[in-house]
């Protein structure tokens, strides 16, 4: 049979690399980087190559599984699987109310057209407030800070890496993660180019990460203290009259309030807390202010910590005070071709973002963006009373490995009346399910990065049609979500989902035609639907978003504009150019201004000042994570290509701590705290600073009942057994996953009896 090469954007991380996939019939021969991709230019990482291995993985589910009378998960037909969901879900909602059904949405859902376009219909129909996601073990603090400052949650300022002369990076390691809240394939090449043009890279990280290794400067910081460092930088800008917001001044509310808030955070006060010398902090501030242009960027090390929202806010306070927000080479706002939230509606003004509109039932943790913090999920399942969670739907998530105190969560999962998973594996979480509904391999579905082009360092659009024909036994994920939506609405499971799909498309069009700012305002919905024939599913919805989007053809209003057909004709993608200044039009705050001192954030500063005076435990150890190039959170360890080689799930310990605690390289250590305990293999290395130990997350694949043959051979340990669900960033409810106090001791050699 003849070989052919198909082009496909990689769906695994935020870098959106273009892949060239060689196939023969239904077999995948190999995966390479697409040298002509307008954005990635041939770059790829080992996970992209592993697209073939995922496709071929015998453990990848190809049929629904149903918990049988004997308690085992057994293969079932789709009819049987849906019948089980329908017979339990309706009565459960009837008896216990809508909030009794919880939903957890995991990370791959942000990379898939189906969950992005059809998830909302399911949530709306379920009508539950018990919505949780991986966002509250991740970027929620940044979304809140940005939402309060600019008025919309995805209005996140992205470092303009290709044009900056000074990049101050905190809590990010893009050389392993390939970038996050910063879509930028080949960060190694881009950082090399930054230095080659005379620019400077400064990395703040408790570990000498791969990124720190290629930086001009690396400042080890005590975990969880970035907000103090950033505030001290702000302090110096004011103190030395280096704050020059330029044209931002007239667009910004609250600069003087920030000056007042920064007063106590002197470099001298921050130094002992952060472990970075006062003189160094002053120099960092001066260099940041002097650089033309500069960008400050913080990622997961700055969000999954005690002061995550404050740290995320302060990153942008620095970008504003130095005049670098919204200018080339600074921190800029992308303008994506489809779904760009801050380009719809009235330019320059909006409803803004409100947080804590309701609180979790048991602990009172705050709502944000319609979700509750996942750190509260276990207690919401365990605690009886009105609103107790009795059923769970997980969509592309493995919270038993990715959320805090996963031991407690796993026990809670066992007590549910109904657990339905939409997933590709029987893993540590889905092994507890009553019903698992599989989805096709990425190669059997289309792709477009609706979310990540809104966070990209260039404006790019790239659509990939499915590489392989569908597997007749595994319906598209969007159709599965629509069928679940029908069940949630109390309706029979539709064989033909078109009536539901048409409703979703009609609803999307109605929003556009009724907006006075849309290209299709006032147009007839049915007429537009007719124009979209014969498109169905995600293609029809994507077509609407593209044509009504900022570059769109507006269904004829702008004949040269973008459409799905234009993307189909450009398989290497369309480059829409470098980021452009977007202020003040992109603002959606009620004031129509940048809110530099939003009330909820100002109120949280007292918590940070208190921490300045907190006594330090100099002998104590804290745990941080670390990402590894060949991992993708918890779920790609079943692919041999990605787990071969030496054991990776090791506990990094600084030589001084190892000596003090009698820990030896290659030996086992016991690590414990209030949340849990585990035994890990010690790797003594000065890549971590003293007082800090590091363990990657997403391992621990030896759970009974999981069906991950390869991962089981390289099980590692689950670091989230140690993440304390009681520790959250109070403002966002986001879990603290970095800077967790732990006690480490050698595991005694077995004593002969
Ligand atoms: N200690 C610690 N914990 C962390 C982190 C950390 O840094 N340290 N990082 C956090 C972060 S940033 C994140 S994003 C979370 C991730 O948390 P989760 O999203 O809960 O975990 P993943 O490991 O990404 O699990 C993804 C699941 O989706 C399934 N899947 C894969 N592809 C598809 C698909 O196309 N459709 C469907 N329906 N399912 C699919 C996989 O089989 C797997 O079960 O982990 C968080 N947890
Ligand atoms: N290879 C790979 N790539 C991935 C993923 C993966 O699992 N593997 N996951 C994807 C996902 S879901 C996400 S969200 C992104 C995350 O992308 P990144 O944020 O770039 O991820 P990490 O590599 O975890 O980098 C976080 C860094 O923060 C440091 N750190 C820990 N605590 C602190 C602290 O208190 N202060 C400071 N300043 N630094 C601290 C850690 O040592 C680590 O080097 O990566 C994505 N890409
Ligand atoms: S860097 Fe990310 S997008 Fe690129 S090949 Fe690797 S996993 Fe895929
Ligand atoms: Mo993430």
User: What confidence tier does 751 reach under pLDDT thresholds 50, 70, 90?
Assistant: low
Q: What is the DSSP letter of 707?
A: -
Ligand 1 and 446: CB distance under 6 A? no
- Paired residues of 30 in beta bridges: 22
For residue 67, the model assigns a pLDDT of 98
Total structural domains within the chain: 4
pLDDT at 637: 98
Average confidence (pLDDT) over 682-691: 98
- Of 678, 707, 705, nearest to 693 by C-alpha is 678
pLDDT at 618 over 80: no
| 205 and 122, same domain (yes or no) | no
CATH number at 388 reads 3.40.50.740
| Protein residue closest via CA to atom 12 of ligand 1 | 138
On the question of a cis peptide bond just before residue 293, with omega within 30 degrees of 0, the verdict is yes
Say if CB 235 and CB 266 are below 8 A apart. Answer: yes
Q: Is it the case that residue 749 has pLDDT exceeding 60?
A: no
The answer to whether residue 399 is domain-embedded is yes
Contact 363, 727 (CB under 8 A): no
- Encode pLDDT of 394-450 as tens digits: 999 999 999 999 999 999 999 999 999 999 999 999 999 999 999 999 999 999 999
Q: Is residue 54 part of a domain?
A: no
Output the CA 47–ligand 1 centroid distance in Å: 15
* Closest approach atom of ligand 3 to CA 9: 3
Which tokens sit at 457? Answer: 């360092």
Helix or strand (DSSP H, E) at 681:
strand 677-684
Confirm or reject: Cβ of 178 under 6 Å from ligand 3.
Answer: yes
Do 127 and 175 fall into the same domain?
A: no
- Please give the distance, rounded to the nearest whole angstrom, from the Cα atom of residue 211 to the centre of ligand 2: 11
Q: Which two tokens stand for residue 65?
A: 């599984």
Using an 8 Å Cβ cutoff, are 228 and 242 in contact?
Answer: no
What is the CB neighbour count within 10 angstroms for residue 377? 27
The answer, yes or no, to whether any atom of ligand 3 lies below 6 A from the CB of 406, is no
pLDDT band for position 612 (cuts 50, 70, 90): confident
The per-residue pLDDT for 192 is 98
Residues with CB under 6 A from ligand 2: 13, 107, 138, 170-174, 176-178, 180, 204-207, 209, 221, 223-224, 226, 299-302, 305, 624-629, 631-633, 738-739
Please report which ligand is nearest the Cα atom of 305.
2
Neighbours of 675 (CB within 10 A): 20
My answer on whether 588 and 726 are in the same domain is no
722 CA → ligand 4 middle, Å: 18
With a 6 Å cutoff on the Cβ, whether 675 touches ligand 3 is no
pLDDT at 52: 98
Question: Does the Cβ of 134 fall within 6 Å of ligand 1?
Answer: yes
Please, which pLDDT band fits residue 619 given cuts at 50, 70 and 90? confident
Is 322 found in the same domain as 185? yes
Which ligand 1 atom sits nearest the alpha carbon of residue 720?
Answer: 1
| Centre of ligand 4 from the C-alpha of residue 447, in Å | 19
Half-sphere exposure of 97 (CA within 13 A, CB side): 9
> Are 289 and 237 spatial neighbours (Cβ–Cβ below 8 Å)?
yes
Nearest to 221 by CA among 209, 239, 236: 209
Q: Using the predicted structure, report yes or no on whether residue 508 has a pLDDT greater than 80.
A: yes
Q: Is-contact 615 590, C-beta < 8 A?
A: no
Asked if residue 229 is part of any domain, the answer here is: yes
Nearest to 314 by CA among 148, 174, 180, 454: 148
Q: Quote the crossing angle between the two packed helices 226-239 and 599-612, to the nearest 10°.
A: 100
Query: What integer pLDDT is reported at residue 170 of this predicted model?
Result: 98
- Which residue, by CA, sits nearest to atom 47 of ligand 2? 177
Distance 626 CA to ligand 2 centre (A): 6
pLDDT tens, position by position, 15-44: 999 999 999 999 999 999 999 999 999 999
Are the C-beta atoms of 526 and 509 separated by less than 8 Å?
no
Contact call for residues 355 and 368 (beta carbons, < 8 A): yes
Given a contact cutoff of 8 angstroms between Cβ atoms, the answer to whether 167 and 201 are in contact is yes
> Residue 568: what pLDDT?
98
Q: Is 12 in the pocket of ligand 3 (CB under 6 A)?
A: yes
Ligand 1 pocket member 425 (CB < 6 A): yes
Query: Looking at the structure, do residues 92 and 166 belong to the same domain, yes or no?
Result: no
Label residue 178 left, alpha or beta by phi (over 0 means left) and psi (-120 to 50 means alpha).
left
Q: Looking at ligand 1, which atom is closest to the CA of residue 111?
A: 35
Is 469:451 a contact under the CB 8 Å cutoff? no
The residue to mutate among 37, 39, 45, 632, having the most atoms of ligand 3 within 8 angstroms of its beta carbon, is 45
User: Which ligand ends up closest to the CA of 299?
Assistant: 2
Residue 562 makes CB contacts below 8 A (sequence gap 6+) with 337, 461, 546, 547, 549, 551, 552, 553, 574
- Using pLDDT thresholds of 50, 70 and 90, give the confidence band for residue 752: low
Going 685 to 690 to 693 to 696, the CA torsion angle's sign is negative
Cis ω on the peptide bond leading into residue 584 (within 30° of 0)?
yes
Average pLDDT over residues 725-733: 98
Q: Are 562 and 548 in contact (CB under 8 A)?
A: no
CB burial class (10 A; 0-12, 13-18, 19+) of residue 645? exposed
- CATH number of residue 621's parent domain: 2.40.40.20
What pLDDT score does 550 carry?
Answer: 97
518 and 375 co-located in one domain: no
Q: Are 742 and 693 in contact (CB under 8 A)?
A: yes
Distance, in Å, from the CA atom of 46 to the CA atom of 623, rounded to the nearest integer, reads: 27
Query: Residue 753 pLDDT > 70, yes or no?
Result: no
Looking at residue 231, its pLDDT comes to: 98
Q: Ligand nearest 634 Cα, by number? A: 1
Domain boundary among 418, 437, 456: 437
Pairing, β 331-332 against β 158-159: antiparallel
Peptide bond into 227 cis (omega under 30): no
pLDDT digits (tens, 9 = 90+) for 640-678: 999 999 999 999 999 999 999 999 999 999 999 999 999
Which residue, chain included where needed, has tokens 């470099």? 267
User: Are 508 and 397 in a shared domain?
Assistant: no
CA of 401 relative to ligand 1 center, distance in Å: 8
Beta bridge pairs of residue 672: 677, 743
Q: Determine contact, residues 374/105, Cβ cutoff 8 Å.
A: no
Handedness of CA 127, 128, 129, 132 (dihedral sign): negative
Say whether both 282 and 385 belong to one domain: no
Task: State which of 388, 414, 437 marks the end of a domain.
Answer: 437
Out of 222, 304, 403, 627, mutate this one to test ligand 2's pocket (max ligand atoms within 8 Å of CB): namely 627
Are residue 81 and residue 176 in the same domain, yes or no? no
Q: How far is the CA of 399 from the centre of ligand 1 (A)?
A: 7
In Å, what is the CA distance from 702 to each residue of 505, 708, 714, 730? 43, 9, 9, 34
Q: Is residue 148, in this structure, part of any structural domain at all?
A: no
Residues 85 and 172 in one domain: no
478 Cβ below 6 A of ligand 3: no
Q: What is the pTM of this model?
A: 0.98
CA distance 88 to 92: 6
Residue 212 lies in a domain: yes
**CB 501, CB 118: distance < 8 Å:** no
Residue 468 lies in a domain: no
Could you tell me which of 215, 211, 191 has the C-alpha nearest to residue 457?
Answer: 191
Q: Give the integer Cα–Cα distance in Å for 681 and 693.
A: 12
List the CATH number of the domain containing 309: 3.40.228.10
Let me know if residue 487 belongs to a domain. Answer: no
pLDDT at 373: 98
Tell me the pLDDT band of 153, cut-offs 50, 70 and 90.
confident
User: What does 611-679 look like in DSSP terms, one character per residue?
Assistant: HHTPPP-TT-EEEE----TT--TTSSTT-HHHH-SS---EEEE-HHHHHHHT--TTSEEEEE-SS-EEE
Q: Considering the domain boundaries, does residue 704 fall inside one?
A: yes
Distance 622 CA to ligand 1 centre (A): 24
The C-alpha atoms of residue 242 and residue 233 are separated, in whole angstroms, by 10
- Bridge-based pairing state of the strands 692-694 and 650-653: antiparallel
Same domain, 295 and 390: no
CB of 261 closer than 6 angstroms to any ligand 3 atom: no
Mean pLDDT of the chain: 97
Domain that holds residue 650: 614-746
Mean local confidence (pLDDT), 614-631:
90
Q: How far is the CA of 299 from the centre of ligand 4 (A)?
A: 10
Residue 98 has pLDDT above 60, yes or no: yes
120 and 167 together in one domain: no
Task: For the chain, state the CA radius of gyration.
Answer: 25
| 248 Cα–ligand 1 center, Å | 38
Do 144 and 353 meet the contact criterion of CB atoms below 8 Å apart? Answer: yes
Q: What are the tokens at 718?
A: 């689950």
Residue 335: pLDDT above 80?
Answer: yes
Burial of 534 (0-12, 13-18, 19+ CB in 10 A): exposed
Answer yes or no: is pLDDT of 478 > 60: yes
Q: Is 461 in the pocket of ligand 3 (CB under 6 A)?
A: no
Write out pLDDT tens, residues 234-290.
Answer: 999 999 999 999 999 999 999 999 999 999 999 999 999 999 999 999 999 999 999
């Amino acid at each position: 049979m003849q070989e052919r090469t198909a082009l496909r954007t990689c769906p695994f991380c935020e870098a959106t690399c273009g892949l060239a996939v060689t196939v023969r019939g239904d077999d995948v021969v190999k995966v390479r980087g697409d040298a002509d991709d307008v954005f990635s230019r041939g770059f790829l990482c080992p996970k992209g190559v592993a697209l073939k291995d995922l496709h071929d993985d015998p453990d990848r589910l190809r049929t629904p599984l149903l918990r049988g009378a004997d308690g085992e998960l057994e293969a079932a037909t789709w009819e049987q699987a849906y019948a089980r969901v329908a017979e339990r879900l309706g009565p459960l909602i009837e008896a216990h109310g809508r909030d009794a059904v919880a939903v957890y949405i995991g990370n791959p859902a942000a990379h898939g057209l189906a969950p992005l376009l059809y998830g909302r219909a399911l949530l709306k129909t379920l009508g539950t407030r018990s919505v949780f996601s991986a966002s509250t073990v991740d970027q929620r603090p940044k979304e809140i800070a940005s939402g309060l400052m600019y008025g919309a949650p995805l209005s996140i300022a992205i470092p303009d890496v290709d044009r900056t002369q000074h990049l101050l990076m905190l809590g990010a390691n893009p050389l392993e993660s390939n970038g996050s809240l910063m879509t930028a394939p080949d960060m190694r090449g881009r950082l090399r180019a930054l230095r080659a043009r005379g620019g400077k890279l400064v990395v703040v990280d408790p570990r000498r990460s791969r990124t720190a290794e290629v930086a001009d400067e690396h400042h080890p910081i005590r975990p969880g203290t970035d907000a103090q460092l950033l505030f001290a930088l702000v302090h110096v800008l004011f103190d030395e009259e280096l704050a020059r917001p330029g044209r931002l001044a007239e667009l910004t509310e609250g600069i003087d309030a920030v000056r007042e808030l920064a007063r106590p955070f002197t470099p001298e006060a921050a130094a002992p807390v952060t472990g970075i010398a006062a003189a160094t902090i002053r120099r960092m501030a001066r260099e940041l202010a002097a650089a033309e242009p500069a960008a400050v960027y913080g990622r997961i090390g700055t969000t999954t910590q005690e002061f995550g929202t404050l740290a995320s806010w302060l990153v942008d306070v620095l970008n504003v005070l130095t005049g670098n927000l919204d200018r080339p080479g600074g921190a800029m706002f992308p303008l994506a071709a489809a779904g760009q939230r801050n380009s719809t509606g009235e330019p320059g003004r909006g409803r803004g973002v409100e947080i804590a509109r309701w609180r979790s039932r048991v602990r009172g943790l705050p709502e944000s963006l319609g979700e509750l913090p996942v750190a509260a999920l276990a207690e919401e399942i365990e605690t009886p009373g009105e609103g107790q969670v009795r059923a769970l739907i997980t969509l592309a998530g493995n919270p038993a490995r990715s959320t805090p105190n996963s031991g407690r969560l796993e026990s809670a999962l066992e007590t549910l009346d109904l657990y339905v998973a939409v997933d590709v594996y029987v893993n540590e979480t889905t092994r507890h399910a009553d019903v698992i509904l599989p989805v096709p391999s990425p190669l059997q579905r289309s792709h477009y990065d609706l979310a990540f082009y809104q966070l990209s360092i260039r404006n790019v659009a790239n659509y990939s049609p499915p590489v392989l024909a569908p597997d007749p036994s595994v319906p598209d994920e969007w159709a599965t979500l629509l069928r679940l939506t029908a069940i949630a609405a109390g309706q029979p499971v539709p064989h033909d989902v078109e009536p539901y799909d048409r409703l979703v498309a009609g609803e999307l069009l109605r929003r556009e035609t009724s907006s006075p700012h849309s290209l299709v305002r006032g147009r007839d919905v049915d007429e537009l639907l007719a124009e979209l024939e014969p498109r169905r599913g995600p293609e029809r919805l994507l077509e609407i978003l593209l044509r009504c989007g900022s570059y769109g053809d507006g269904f004829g209003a702008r004949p040269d504009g973008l459409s799905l057909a234009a993307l189909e004709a450009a398989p290497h993608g369309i480059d829409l150019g470098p980021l452009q200044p977007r202020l003040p039009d992109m603002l959606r705050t009620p004031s129509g201004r940048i809110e530099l001192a939003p009330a909820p954030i100002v109120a949280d500063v007292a918590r940070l000042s208190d921490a300045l005076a907190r006594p330090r435990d100099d002998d104590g150890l804290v745990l941080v994570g670390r990402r590894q190039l060949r991992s993708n959170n918890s779920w790609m360890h079943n692919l041999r290509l990605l787990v071969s080689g030496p054991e990776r799930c090791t506990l990094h310990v600084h030589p001084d701590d190892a000596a003090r605690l009698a820990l030896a390289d290659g030996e086992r250590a016991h690590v414990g705290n209030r949340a849990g305990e585990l035994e890990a293999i010690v790797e003594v290395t000065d890549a971590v600073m003293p007082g800090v130990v590091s363990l990657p997350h997403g391992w621990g694949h030896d759970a009974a009942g999981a069906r991950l043959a390869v991962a089981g051979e390289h099980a590692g340990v689950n670091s989230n057994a140690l993440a304390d669900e009681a520790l959250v960033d109070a403002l966002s409810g986001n879990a603290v996953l970095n800077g967790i106090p732990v006690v480490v001791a050698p595991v005694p050699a077995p004593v002969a009896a």
